[in-house]
Structure 1
């Protein structure tokens, strides 16, 4: 983890940044906007797109304005409208998404009153006639009378403008001052209002505000169910209409039981109105459950209602909202489902959602849930992603994104709850991008540096591994146990004489390339150098390799095997056959950047290196392709070896046992194992100077494997020892005076 500490710390800082936004310590506008976009997308994808016939919108449309004149219309006309709706059409309830704040004098009553008080004050006939006509000319009175005893809900608006005025009248609060004392609830608070004439308000069944909650991006996604004005609490138009339909049940604030929440939690989670439970968010607003785009409810022109051009069944028993779609009356809103949307239909959607229980929940405790999820995912990914490869980091990040989206969708569809997604998703994306960018710009630089230092020696995959923890690797000399390999082409002088210069170049290039790929790519070795046609390589540095001896032996076997493939190509081109000798030895050596001030190289030095070189030279003597030292043999357990001899190389007083690797245990045939068993018996007889037994065994071995040069070598030695017996104390060790 140490090598990833920078990325882990950066990841945790990024998570902390997003966590502050999720915990409402501050707001990052971009995240809020993304969250709104995601919310809108979920809403649009899952909305039913059906028409709710239970609710109708009585439209003050362009047609009505053309037939009945500009708005506002005379109140006697509004009185006739109410009478027709209830008496002729049997409407269930009417709600007004308009206000009646000013008195209607269009009948001329004000002028007549002035005459009655001044010019015609002394004319009894005028006074008598005026008194008889007064009630018919009082249009506001007529309208008020038509409302009386009927389920009609008036609308009004609230405002917070500078110097906000209080126009006309608003109803009594639905909940009095002090209802929520001691609880920090985020009600929208207002300073002024535009209400209705007191005489209208007095006869209407109820009244509610029609202010939507407009988010900073100008979109209407919710409507405050309760608002605060002068310390008391007032209901929305939609809530007032539902209460009127239900017989005016009390509004009961819904709080979770104290035993389930922290003492400091003061969130109002729902409102109970009779049998209805209405979920609210931290502003005590209901999320608008849009059914679809405009016209998710039947629209009927008020001109057609007044002219009785509407079939009675279209209105009988319906919930009616009076509002306007006329552009000039400025009640068009921007919503998630349409950029231009009638404000009256917003309230229709809320009422529809109340009836069906489709209003999504976004209770205040979701803030805590979002914070917890963000802490868990942010910390986990901050620690995990830096330690993974790019492919796995991508897979894990994609999985986290999918899990986040899946959880949010499941919560949305199954329990009708809104789980904010933007903070979590942006955290995952940012952490992934940060790590990929860091890997590209910072770690790729380290990789390039390592490639420059070690790329010519070790395979790319080892360079990648080294770049993951650059502090562990350098070119400073150090003592370590390695396995060293030398290989050389036998008879190279004859080969070079048989080929043209350009052919020799191709010959040696193909040989060196093939063998180098086996060493580096196939068996993760470090290529030290080329010495003419010879190759020097080692295992165990710069990257530690617990299997260095095994990998070196397997590389030697693969090189011999590949020689046969190369020979098929060379013979086909008329070139001489290739035959190589390979020597391997393991031991403690010094490895690092060594050389002179003029030229340096990453290489190895030590006795084990020299012995490996000597063993390569002895392969020709014994007629074998590979020879390995005793330390190498002892370090490898799953490869079959043939003991070849015990020798003393030039410059060494201690004898070493040398071996020929035959192949992996699983690949060596039974008859070969039987041959090796007989050979081991022969070696014991040889070292005991039991020449008759040796000769008999060698005859049998030569019949089994007539091409084995080793058997012929020992047969010649026995013949020589019969003529010139070895000295007293001879232990079977062969001494080489030359390298």
Structure 2
């Protein structure tokens, strides 16, 4: 066993910090979801769940393959099933169900059919077909026993038929789910903002009605349900706990229940549904299938429930699948809330600490032991930690798993490499260890003082610079890895050179995005002017790269840049074990939102009024609009820089003048005049085209008297 000194300990700590920072960084956030998937699989395989499905507080009424093959549904379009659905739901609620939720949406009625049938549309011959169904909906809704589902979307929302909406009044809740970047559902939303007010999601609404309470905000800011503080790693979500791998929720065949209604067996409905939350949904093999954290081990579409009238199908037994029916995702969320069994995930600081500590232990082992012995130590410690994590997951606590395992393995490899460069001098060691995430000025201070960096920050007036390539994901799909790397290196190098040559500091790269600040770490009284100048040069440089650089040929890249100035905390920010020289404040958030807001106006650069005010008369600007960005209630005036003062083209002046005239008319509610003014430049100016269409619409249907000329942006 090799003796280690202070220098080795410092090296191990720094390597652990670096490995922890990498494997808990946003680009590798997918590892957090992978940890949940592995823990779910290991718990299911090693421990399982012995709960009786009959004790489940939630059950599913399943529109399954049997339903489609059984009379009277066989060969009938689903729009004709509504009356039978109403009859079954009536029996379910009469049997004592607390509340029924719809995971199916009937966006239209057969009565609306315009298909010719004889001398009249088919729908006109079926007037009144849905009357009994609508009466059933109204009765159940008025009794607080029914919630219909809808899917919210800015582009294509999906809602029940208008008659159904009127029947149930306000008893409609969103079925939208929270999907991670890898298209896996591990969490569910708690609420949605509708008309500026938080409205519970479907699962939360059903749980609140079952518990006879409301969703509230607790003293700590966490959402509470009947005194239960709902754990929420991602704001406004709960992390699903698939404790029974889907088999802990009974699934009643809709066909059998319909036959049970015909049979008149009211006792069966009482035994099956008394005191239960009921979800109606499809469990077909091809409809509404969801990947969840059960994807590695496989989940089940519930457990077949007792039968009432029809014989059980002769099909083979259930098999585990990587995807499950969406209705069981909602059912699991309801059960988690009622039983207070939501998974608690550690926040980013604690996950980083777990990862860094584990990596540090392995790094020290790598410094003390031979490479083979260190690898065996890694295997043994990782196995022991995994067992501890599975034990914690049984108690609904999700410890990070993949991040510590991978970070420690990387730390081990780095420590073995370090042992070959023991003669490195301290300055070289510090620069190599911190160059990727501390500003050069900070590293120079460290080298001069001979001290490690410490936590701390200061309030500075800065200008934040956010940029992002437009539609880059679709372009990247057409490129080989080598081409993509070459393109990104060329682009990021060119943009970084411009930013740094104008006094900016690149805080971080996030994929193809760049986050930079002007005014820190080095003092710069002209930080706003330098930021705007850098943005204009970056835009011009991208056009040059598109025209002359072979790596950019045929791709036609474009980017969006957001600029905002204001007070911010800058400095070494983080935990005692890991921190970055970075910036924090609302100034940063607004700059990020302005970058995204460019896509609504078709602009490349957007700056706030605060930035414009700090640039003096250095640039020619045009005011774009007053907007309200996501997550911020106050309206912001936004501007587009055209060029250095006096360098704008004749066309830019003409468009800016017409736009200013149209904007003044818009704000004065003279929409017809505004449309005429914007129309003149709409052909070549997306922002003018946007306002021309908005002004035309308002000239036909004027807004209410309390209208304010503020555009509320719903996306980021």
Task: Report TM bin, short chain.
Answer: 0.3 to 0.5
In the superposition, the TM-score normalised over structure 1's length comes to: 0.45
In the superposition, the TM-score normalised over structure 2's length comes to: 0.46
Larger Rg: 1
